[in-house]
Structure 1
Amino acid sequence: MNLSQTLLIAAVGLPLLMLLLSASAPVRRRLPAWFAVAPLPALAAAVGASPSETLMLGHSRFALRFAIDTPGALLLGTAALLWLFAGIYASRSLRAQRSVDGFVVCWLMAMTGNVGVFLAADLIGFYLMLAVLSVGASGLVLQGEGADARYAGALYLGIALLAEAFVLAALILLAQATPGGSLLIRDAAAALPGSAWRDATLLLLLTGLGMKAGMVPLHFWMPYAYRAAPVPAAAVMSGAVVKASVIALVRFLPFTPGDAWPHFGIPLAALGMFGAFYGVAIGITQSEPKVVLACSSVSQMGFLMAVTGMGLAAGDPATVVAAAYYAAHHLLVKGTLFLAVGVVALTGAGSLRRVLLPTAVIALGLGGLPLTGGALAKYAAKDLLRGDLAGSLAVASSVATTLLMLHFVRCLRATAATDAHARAPAPLALAWLAMVLASLLGPWVLYLHIPVGTLPDALAPAALWSALWPVLAGAALAVGWDRWRRKAPRVPVGDVGVILRELQRAAAAVGRFAQGADAFVREWSVSCLTLLLAALLFGGLLAVVA
């Protein structure tokens, strides 16, 4: 076994080993101190593993295979950083809790599945890791407090299972269409354009992965889940976990030159761009920072779906790296902003500016603030948004995102500790600060090592101005919105998801009625009378027929 294979097996094996060790109660209580160690092999694999090496576990055709490619390395490396520093945050915050068992198990399960999804090279391994990830993530939501956490966890798991049912059906069709019985993802993706079930497979993939990405209208699980989950759990879920859908899209969809798919790509782009604006429209009506960030995720994942759809419509292979790079930037930023929510809640007015200023810069990076990773990410994706309409909508999306992020900073400031001299514990503040540096510097390092564009072009005056003016326009809108927002209608958390709660109440009422009716009918006197009436009715019918 060479170095690359060793790194691959350690990346998945270490968090899995820690998960197995958590079966012992004494060991389980000590594992939070090792949270930051678990993702280190994944970080090393993202940097040092060779794309030409494949790790095979097993000896039959159903052996699990793991490998790394450019989009996998981008997302695995940034996800490992987030799991590392969020793990430090989680380890310190768990000290105040009497029971950490559930959190430890779910944290390690989600990490194992997340790392495995980015490295899975075959259909079976991908689906297995996706299922492990979903169960672990839903368990993290349940670590919140109260009935809202239980509802959010159940909703998250239900949506995840429904989405995975669509994905599983697509994977079965892919396996049937792949020649030679190969289960490798690259072989299945190559065979998809010539499959007899091509359109059905694409529809199933886009439906299932779109649900996991929080695409409108099946996005409502995001505000519920991210609000209910503890801060470090919400950070990794909004940053790393949701990117499982992105890696699947760029690996399974056929971005091949000369093979355009406008009948799938254009509707996906349209729905994604609608979600980009819808998330902002809902987010600016919210006051809880975690809910605002959840709406931002709906918006940003919608924009990413629009980029993917345009690339699919054009058959542009550059979509793979550009979408992965955009997702990697979003991963770092969103994880950092969720950690900032926890830090600000423990910070008083005396030290608040030191937290809010870098948070605001990183948040505005999502809108494309020049010299931030967000500007680079949008520049990398600009060629995919060809055409006057797509380009104009992309610029408008930057304006809207800036508006939403300034609204988030305003809401965040209102949640500061009442003690003016309060400061967040050093491990929490340092973990957040490390993610700040990763969010600011990481995208620049990645940009220099991937084929998405040249640095001089990205730093040209015209490129800087095209990134700056939408941010200025969004800031002007934010000033106007600050004066009018108190008169705006309040949208409940989960917006269209409220319908589910109403249906749940109606179903519960029907269930209570049926239960009462059943209990009434089961009474002896009622049962005898009912039986007698049925016998008389039956006898009367026989007499009429005779």
Structure 2
Amino acid sequence: MTGETLSPPLDLSALEPAMPALSEALMVVAIALPLVLAFAALVPAVRRALPHLLVFVPLPALIAALAVPRGLSMLVAPDPFRFTLALDAPGALLLGGASLLWMTAGTYAMAYLRKDPARPAFMVWWLLTMAGSFAVFLVADVASFYLAYALVSFSAYGLAAHDDTPQARRAGSLYLALTVLGEALLIAAFVMLASGATDANPQIRDAVALLPTSPWKTPVLVLILLGFILKMGLFPLHVWMPLAHSVAPVPGSAVLSGVVVKAGVIGLLRFLPEGVPLPGWGAMLCGAGLFTAYYGVAVGFTQTHPKRALAYSTVSQMGVVAAVIGAGVMNGTAGTFTVAALYAANHMLLKGAMFLAVGVAMASSPKRAWAVAALAGMLGLSLAGLPLTGGAMAKYAIKLIVPDGVAGTLLTLSAAGSTLLMARYALLVARSGTKGTPPLGVVVPALALAVLALVLPFALFEAVTGLPASAAFTPSALLKGLWPVALGLGGAALLAWRAPRMREVPAGDILNALGFLGTVGRAIMGGAVAADDVLRRWPVAAFALLAIAALLAATLTFAALPL
């Protein structure tokens, strides 16, 4: 397995002399374009034109993911305000997947929210979150990563709290409070991580290379793991995810689940050393991931709304990603991070398409909702690893990292749980139809994203693993992929025939179970709740977040100017 090279699939030999400059410009524009448009959205004329532009804004990021040579690094701004961009194989996979999701979900969002008076506010939050999500996949120095991570994290608040209902404000406040906690953990980790380097703002790879021998190794690893698994939604730090996903508008849920949580994934891939065995730390991450994978399924199956079921599915799937990363770190397996990125990118597209399908079904008649549920079920089976689907290719790839033993067996069995939960999700989609015909503006992007999600893993498999795609089609591989899915479908049929009485676990689950901590929780979130009244007025919120992004935007814009 190569796992490291992931060569660009485009033949750009005719442009080879200009490639370095073109590649650098693409990386800069990928981040700068949504930021500049977010600034420009303060002008009414630009704001009115934005709905027609959103589909095109992620194009530079998509082209960069396809065409920029892996390993290319560029210094955008020198010391003392060093800002460096680079693109490696994991970053390219996640950047490409994110750009496709932003394009399709952005088109969907403008049709879905066409009558929403708060649509301009949504567009600003959307652009800021997009800029931050592209930046976390591209930045290469410690300080810039923190700035990009803060941008995507805080901007996503506006997507979660957009509807301005009491439930949305509660979810947004909780998300904001946990985001502040995560940022505090990470900035402490980054300061200690950079303390051993000669530069005040070192390259991430240089700082991480010093980590195994650092006197701060233990506290840095604790803080890094806590900070990033909070964003990924691993138990017990997952509580924000079901609450936020269930109240956000459908396209907002799609990018929260598909893209925003991947900021935590890329954080682990950037700040954990690859190829250096860390047995204890890797085992802890793997164990936490496996527990989360099963916990998400167990709670998700009780849900009565398809968006909440999908939210707990994301909790479960991020547990799988964490388990793979942990197993690779535990053994020092080369290629782990690229394989984990492939699985995360596959989840990104599938989960985005499944959320968009919910919106299509909710705008459909009951009869049409069953047709949507059929497509949703196919996407769910791909996520579970049904042979001959794109998801099966991603499942096969992670088995190269965790092939046998207890962890490998538990990962395989988790596919049965995913199948069970996806069957539940498809049934809920089928029941969500009301009346009417969904507009083409939501149907077409949802279908386009579904097709991409089902097909792209086939195209990426060989580049990531170094194996031909046919390796996943041997009788042995097909059987290993089929039996967990068959087991899950059998369990779903049994439960449909004789369903036990189940009470729905409220979204946020352990927050409700730990009611005695309510006073403490209210005290912690008091500041966030107070800030919510101001943040809900989008021009103020936009200005505040644009101020956070100002240094980044100014640096990128200056760098893009001709000399």
Normalised by the length of structure 2, the TM-score is 0.87
Moved more, 440-449 or 25-34: 25-34
Going from structure 1 to structure 2, the CA distance change for 1:13 and 1:144 (only over 3 Å counts) comes to same
Partner residue, 1:13: 32
Secondary structure of the residue aligned to 1:456 is: helix
Partner residue, 1:475: 489
Contact 1:396–1:470 (Cα < 8 Å) also in 2: yes
Contact 2:73–2:85 (Cα < 8 Å) also in 1: yes
Deviation at 1:348, TM superposition (A): 1.4
> How far apart are the structure 2 equivalents of 1:506 and 1:382?
42
Match of 1:487 among 461, 485, 501: 501
Match of 1:125 among 128, 144, 151: 144
Going from structure 1 to structure 2, the CA distance change for 1:506 and 1:255 (only over 3 Å counts) comes to closer
Deviations 1:31-64 (A, max 9, x none): 1221111111100110011234323222323321
- Comparing both chains, which one has the higher relative contact order based on Cα–Cα distances under 8 Å and sequence gaps of 6 or more? 2
Match of 2:245 among 226, 243, 251: 226
Going from structure 1 to structure 2, the CA distance change for 1:89 and 1:202 (only over 3 Å counts) comes to same
Secondary structure of the residue aligned to 2:188 is: helix
Deviations 1:330-363 (A, max 9, x none): 0000000000000000111343343222221111
Deviations 1:280-324 (A, max 9, x none): 000111111000000001100011111111111101122111100
Match of 1:410 among 424, 427, 449: 427
Secondary structure of the residue aligned to 1:384 is: coil
Deviation at 1:95, TM superposition (A): 1.4
Partner residue, 2:194: 175
> How far apart are the structure 2 equivalents of 1:282 and 1:199?
33
> How far apart are the structure 1 equivalents of 2:101 and 2:77?
31
Contact 1:145–1:228 (Cα < 8 Å) also in 2: no
> How far apart are the structure 1 equivalents of 2:303 and 2:53?
36
Going from structure 1 to structure 2, the CA distance change for 1:100 and 1:445 (only over 3 Å counts) comes to same
Contact 1:291–1:493 (Cα < 8 Å) also in 2: yes
Going from structure 1 to structure 2, the CA distance change for 1:165 and 1:182 (only over 3 Å counts) comes to closer
Deviation at 1:505, TM superposition (A): 6.1
**After the TM superposition, which residues 66-215 of structure 1 pair with which residues of structure 2 at under 5 Å, given as runs?**
66-181=85-200, 183-215=202-234
Partner residue, 1:457: 471
Contact 2:254–2:356 (Cα < 8 Å) also in 1: yes
Partner residue, 1:514: none
Secondary structure of the residue aligned to 2:257 is: helix
Partner residue, 2:451: 437
| 1:47 is the counterpart of 2:61 | no
Contact 1:221–1:497 (Cα < 8 Å) also in 2: no
Q: Which runs of 5+ in 1 are unaligned?
A: 510-546
Output the amino acid matched with 1:427.
G
Output the amino acid matched with 2:149.
L
| 1:308 is the counterpart of 2:286 | no
Partner residue, 2:294: 277
> How far apart are the structure 1 equivalents of 2:366 and 2:28?
47
| 1:32 is the counterpart of 2:32 | no
Q: Which runs of 5+ in 2 are unaligned?
A: 1-19, 524-563
> How far apart are the structure 1 equivalents of 2:521 and 2:418?
38
> How far apart are the structure 2 equivalents of 1:82 and 1:507?
34
**After the TM superposition, which residues 58-73 of structure 1 pair with which residues of structure 2 at under 5 Å, given as runs?**
58-73=77-92
Secondary structure of the residue aligned to 1:311 is: helix
Partner residue, 1:427: 441
Moved more, 355-364 or 450-459: 450-459
Going from structure 1 to structure 2, the CA distance change for 1:200 and 1:22 (only over 3 Å counts) comes to same
Deviation at 1:182, TM superposition (A): 5.4
Deviation at 1:278, TM superposition (A): 0.4
Secondary structure of the residue aligned to 1:57 is: strand
> How far apart are the structure 2 equivalents of 1:99 and 1:275?
36
Going from structure 1 to structure 2, the CA distance change for 1:507 and 1:142 (only over 3 Å counts) comes to closer
> How far apart are the structure 1 equivalents of 2:295 and 2:508?
12
Contact 1:15–1:112 (Cα < 8 Å) also in 2: yes
Deviation at 1:225, TM superposition (A): 0.3
Contact 2:471–2:477 (Cα < 8 Å) also in 1: yes
Contact 2:458–2:469 (Cα < 8 Å) also in 1: no
Secondary structure of the residue aligned to 1:493 is: coil
> How far apart are the structure 2 equivalents of 1:242 and 1:96?
29
Contact 1:170–1:204 (Cα < 8 Å) also in 2: yes
Partner residue, 1:322: 339
> How far apart are the structure 2 equivalents of 1:72 and 1:398?
26
Going from structure 1 to structure 2, the CA distance change for 1:506 and 1:441 (only over 3 Å counts) comes to closer
Moved more, 460-469 or 186-195: 186-195
Deviation at 1:148, TM superposition (A): 0.3
Deviation at 1:224, TM superposition (A): 0.2
Going from structure 1 to structure 2, the CA distance change for 1:19 and 1:304 (only over 3 Å counts) comes to same
> How far apart are the structure 1 equivalents of 2:470 and 2:138?
33
> How far apart are the structure 2 equivalents of 1:386 and 1:125?
36
Match of 1:399 among 389, 411, 416: 416
Moved more, 311-320 or 442-451: 442-451
Secondary structure of the residue aligned to 1:487 is: coil
Number of aligned residue pairs: give it.
504
> How far apart are the structure 2 equivalents of 1:221 and 1:283?
14
Output the amino acid matched with 2:380.
A
Contact 1:321–1:452 (Cα < 8 Å) also in 2: no
> How far apart are the structure 1 equivalents of 2:203 and 2:140?
6
> How far apart are the structure 1 equivalents of 2:145 and 2:252?
22
Going from structure 1 to structure 2, the CA distance change for 1:415 and 1:486 (only over 3 Å counts) comes to farther
Deviation at 1:500, TM superposition (A): 6.4
Output the amino acid matched with 1:330.
H
Identical-pair percentage: 40
Partner residue, 2:542: none
Secondary structure of the residue aligned to 2:118 is: coil
Deviations 1:60-84 (A, max 9, x none): 2332111111000000001000000
> How far apart are the structure 2 equivalents of 1:222 and 1:261?
29
Secondary structure of the residue aligned to 2:149 is: helix
Match of 1:253 among 262, 268, 272: 272
